[in-house]
Chain A
Amino acid sequence: AQSVTQPDIHITVSEGASLELRCNYSYGATPYLFWYVQSPGQGLQLLLKYFSGDTLVQGIKGFEAEFKRSQSSFNLRKPSVHWSDAAEYFCAVAANEKLTFGTGTRLTIIP
């Protein structure tokens, strides 16, 4: 069965600093990978996705993620965070029509 690990429960970053959120997955075949963002009390918004091809994928809001098969990772990055990026971030892997989510990383932005 597939699984997703987000090792960082909570990350605090200064506004304007760079960001990297870690995600490791376990899946036997080529994975379909996603990053979602959730603001408090809201649903999930898709930031970006990887299905195949270029391993560096660009998403919305200036986010990007790199798929590294050798490391089973799909880390999310942003060169300069904004206060509005404070939210919960979920990595997910799709298999057999189902999404399996990681436990999420809560991002706090300090001025």
Chain B
Amino acid sequence: GAVVSQHPSRVICKSGTSVKIECRSLDFQATTMFWYRQFPKQSLMLMATSNEGSKATYEQGVEKDKFLINHASLTLSTLTVTSAHPEDSSFYICSASTGLTGGNEQFFGPGTRLTVL
């Protein structure tokens, strides 16, 4: 149980294009979903928190107009990197929480490797 999927697992795009990454909770309803960014050999940095049906809350320093997050249902959240540039190349990981377990345990997706040429 508590499986989270991400699609695509890997994407390569040209500079200036937009890329959409999907995050799905497969066997549970996620009241909250999180998006993280991880640079090579570094830790995960929280980008934003989204609750179903409401606007995402972005961490300080994250451009909300560049990283568009939509949490349209209790099982799906999307991250769109708009007008991507090489510096946006990174590993993006989503997680989902039911809000029911202690500490709001998060279940992580396998990640999406974005390469912007």
- A residues neighboring B (CB under 8 Å): 32, 34, 36, 41-46, 49, 51-52, 90, 94, 97-104, 106
B110 touches A99 (CB 8 A): no
If A44-B108, A101-B43 are given as contacts, then 14 extra A-B residue pairs at C-beta distance below 8 Å, sorted by A number, are A32-B102, A32-B104, A41-B91, A43-B4, A43-B108, A44-B44, A44-B93, A46-B108, A51-B103, A52-B102, A94-B104, A97-B49, A98-B34, A99-B46
Q: How far is the CB of A95 from chain B (nearest CB, A)?
A: 9
Q: How far is the CA of A41 from the CA of B113 in the complex (A)?
A: 8
B106 touches A99 (CB 8 A): yes
Q: How far is the CA of A101 from the CA of B97 in the complex (A)?
A: 16
- Please name all residues of chain B whose beta carbon is closer than 8 Å to the beta carbon of A98 when the two chains form the complex: 34, 46, 49
When C-beta atoms are compared, the residue in chain B nearest to A106 turns out to be: B41
When C-beta atoms are compared, the residue in chain B nearest to A44 turns out to be: B108
A90 touches B103 (CB 8 A): no
Q: How far is the CA of A77 from the CA of B93 in the complex (A)?
A: 26
Q: How far is the CA of A45 from the CA of B107 in the complex (A)?
A: 8
When C-beta atoms are compared, the residue in chain A nearest to B110 turns out to be: A43
- Please name all residues of chain B whose beta carbon is closer than 8 Å to the beta carbon of A32 when the two chains form the complex: 102-104
Q: How far is the CA of A97 from the CA of B103 in the complex (A)?
A: 7
Q: How far is the CA of A46 from the CA of B106 in the complex (A)?
A: 9
B44 touches A51 (CB 8 A): no
